Amino acid sequence: MGGLSSEREVSLSTGNSVVEAMIRKGLKVFPIDVDRNIANNLKGIDLAFNALHGTYGEDGCIQGLLEYFKIPYTGSGVTGSALAYDKLKTKEILKFHGIPTADYEVFYRNQKQHIKRNLNLPVVVKPTNQGSSFGVSIVEKENQWIQALENAFNYSNEIIVEKFITGKLLAIGMNGEQPMPIVHIRPKSGFYDYEAKYTSGKTEYICPAKLSEKEAHKCKEVSKNVFKVLRGRGFPRVDIILDNENTPYVLEMNTVPGMTPTSLLPMAAQEIGMNFDDLVIEILKTAQLDHGVPS
């Protein structure tokens, strides 16, 4: 947990909540705040619960190190983590498999002075490899465009500009290939940014989401497909916008979703009678390696 990314504080919150749950369950726990000495700190560890959000934790890096040491870990494997964390690769894979995702363009820092947008406003501007909405902006007016680019390029050399989809923001936790109850996210500001995510009272959450049986079925089927094509494992979360014509547009799959008692995945688990501590244990049971069993 913790780590070196911009999501350090969020990761510490997740990690501490998970540690407390494991202690309540009587497990022997060794919390590791990840730093440059992580390879030495892994000595003696039998199994890793990955609560490390952001760069190095969700992009395949820590997964590769754990594979090298033959320590089973929770969440997606090396390739699955790398694909899901890279928003551009995610969109390319979704497009290839015919899974709905918003139209998009890609721009690079070295062409910043010559960027010409083809999509009409409004658009969403985001880095290709960040979480927790860091560097993300909604551009509704031309005078917001340059600042949105600067904001995104602060976090990545490569950015995505995608068509803004109006609709219901939905989060679908996955228990393996099986979707959990859907959470409808309703930020009071209209934009689910960092403040809306982590400030109490800024967002309303409805679980289960008030959807028709057909809408819910369509969203869950799309989530199953996303889990499959992005090589999901364990308990990831698929984020979707259900537009006004009932098309579920996929935003991303989060392979290390937040795990505090008020996070979205525990909220969905609670709806099916699984409390936070039990959810932590169930996630722990899914820990594995990409390449065989520990030696």
The residues that are catalytic are 7, 132, 198, 237, 239, 252, 254, 258
Cis amide leading into 122 (omega within 30): yes
> What stretches of 29-166 adopt beta strand conformation (E)?
104-108, 123-127, 137-139, 158-163
The candidate with the shortest Cα–Cα distance to 159, out of 98, 119, 111, 197, is 111
285 and 279 in contact (C-beta within 8 Å)?
no
Distance CA 163, CA 148 (A): 14
Maximum C-alpha span of the chain: 59
Question: 269 exposed, middle or buried (CB, 10 Å; 0-12, 13-18, 19+)?
Answer: buried
Residue with tokens 């079925």: 217
22 and 283 in contact (C-beta within 8 Å)?
no
Distance CA 109, CA 157 (A): 5
- Residue 224, CB-side half-sphere exposure with 13 Å CA sphere: 10
